[in-house]
Amino acid sequence: MSNSSLPDAGATAVAPAMVTHRPRPRRRSKRLKAWFPYLLVAPAVIYLFLITLYPGVYAIIQSFHAVKFGPWQPVGFANYVKLFGDYQFWGALWNTFVIGSIALTLQCVIALTLAFYAYRDPWVQGWRIIFLVPMLFMPSAVAFIFKLAFLDGRVVSDLLMRVGLIDANLSIQSSIWMSRGLLIIADVWQWTPFLFIIFVAALQGQDEEVEEAARLDGASWAAIFWNISLPLMKPVIAVALILRGIDITTMFTNVFIITKGGPAFGTETISYFIYRTGFKFFNFGYASAASVVMLIITIIIAQLVVKRAFVSVRT
């Protein structure tokens, strides 16, 4: 009992609120009450610790070893030194950034445009259901269908030739930018709905009286959108873009199925880089070093950006 400093600290913090419910709590139940919220949240936190903290520590330790098939050989910072000199690692970071930022920008602009036109439309429910469709297909299947349409089946090339835009089959697989474009199009097709659904809800949820007043003053819809709706939506847009941004920067499925990182590693994302070094070349220590670097970047971004965005929306 004497070493339980945490529950006592909790008890003092909780006491005022509790007193209103139970005027004279017995000492033991008071102690239990202070523990109670921690008990409720503990299983979830422990579970998440197991699945995030444990792997984090494991990856850090592994990153200081050479791990192939035999026992682990301690190598100090060798993996990190090699990593920072590895042009494929920097290339993967760059690809992730390029593909991610273009895809995210496109999705945001398209979703905002669509939401702007759809939310005042009498058939907004219908538009929502139609636009939702791509999001609900399994990403692995979507990747295959895009691969078929653009690469194996040459459907897109054929259609473009029929309308006379090009005169020969596109050689997408030998062009870095066309391959990146393919990954971007697949992502835009499947995930613009995610942002659209959120933006429409935010626009529908805004105060109609403000809009009405602006209309009576003769403001155009576009002006209302730019000057009133958009600034009010900023926190929502931030949260939506963060959630989408997380998924884009961890892009793996489409790379794995459509491009395999090629040509010339031009579409290799950081997730695919880790997968390739770890599970293709069985260079686990090296892959872990890359994981740790990513982990550190993730934590910094989480603390700086995500925390602020979610707090600002809640209030």
Partner 1 sequence: MASQRRKRGENLIIRYLILGAWALFCLMPVLWFLSIGLRPRVEIITPQPIYWPTFSLDAWHMIWEDWPMAKYLRNSILAIFGSVLIDLVLGIPAAYSLARYQYRGRDDIAFYILSTRMMAPAIVAIPIFFLFRNAGLLDTIWALMLIYAAINLSFVTWIIRSYMLDIPKELEDAARTDGASDLRILWEIIIPAILPGIITASVIAMIFAINEFLFTLLIASTPNAYTMSVALANFTGGSDGVIYNAIALVAFLAFVPVFLVVVAIQKHLSRGLTMGAVKGG
What is the distance between the alpha carbons of residues 30 and 272, in angstroms, rounded to a whole number?
A: 52
Q: Does 173 bind partner 1 (CB under 8 A)?
A: no
Site for partner 1 in 238-297 (CB under 8 A): 239-240, 243, 246, 249-250, 252-253, 256-257, 270-272, 274-275, 278-279, 284, 287-288, 291, 294-295
Measured from the Cβ of residue 140, the count of other Cβ atoms closer than 10 Å reads: 12
Alpha-carbon span 60 to 58, nearest angstrom: 5
User: Which member of 66, 176, 230, 306 binds partner 1 (CB under 8 A)?
Assistant: 306
Q: Is residue 130 part of the contact set for partner 1 (CB under 8 A)?
A: yes
- Which of residues 110 and 176 has its CB atom nearest to partner 1 in the complex? 110
Tokens 């993730």 locate to 298
| Interface residue with partner 1, options 97, 205, 223, 304 (CB under 8 A) | 205
**176 lies in the binding site for partner 1 (CB under 8 A):** no
Say whether residue 93 binds partner 1 (CB under 8 A).
no
Q: Among residues 48, 81, 213, 223, which is the contact residue for partner 1, using CB under 8 A?
A: 48
Does 228 bind partner 1 (CB under 8 A)? Our answer is: no
Contact of 31 with 7, CB cutoff 8 Å: yes
For position 43 contacting partner 1 by CB under 8 A, the verdict is yes
Which residue in the set 99, 170, 182, 202 belongs to the binding site for partner 1 (CB under 8 A)? 202
CB of 177 to partner 1, least distance (A): 21
Contacts (CB under 8 A) with partner 1, residues 143-162: 144-149, 152-155, 158
Q: How far apart are CA 27 and CA 65, in angstroms?
A: 52
- Contacting residues for 247 by C-beta, under 8 A, at least 6 apart: 191
Q: Closest CB to partner 1 among 18 and 176?
A: 18
314 near partner 1, rule: CB under 8 A: yes
* Segment interacting with partner 1, rule: CB under 8 A, options 74-82, 83-91, 170-178, 196-204: 196-204
Our finding on whether 80 is near partner 1 (CB under 8 A) is: no
Distance CA 2, CA 19 (A): 24
Long-range contacts of 126-134 (CB under 8 A, 24+ apart): 128/196, 128/197, 128/200, 131/192, 131/193, 131/196, 131/197, 132/193, 132/197, 133/193, 134/189, 134/190, 134/191, 134/192, 134/193
Which span (69-77, 111-119, 172-180, 259-267) binds partner 1, by CB under 8 A? 111-119
- The closest of 227, 193, 198 to 313, measured between CA atoms, is 198
One of 103, 170, 200, 258 touching partner 1 (CB under 8 A):
200
3-state DSSP assignment of residue 122: coil
Q: CB under 8 A: which stretch of 74-82, 99-107, 108-116, 173-181 binds partner 1?
A: 108-116
Residue partners of 42: CB distance under 8 A and separation at least 6: none
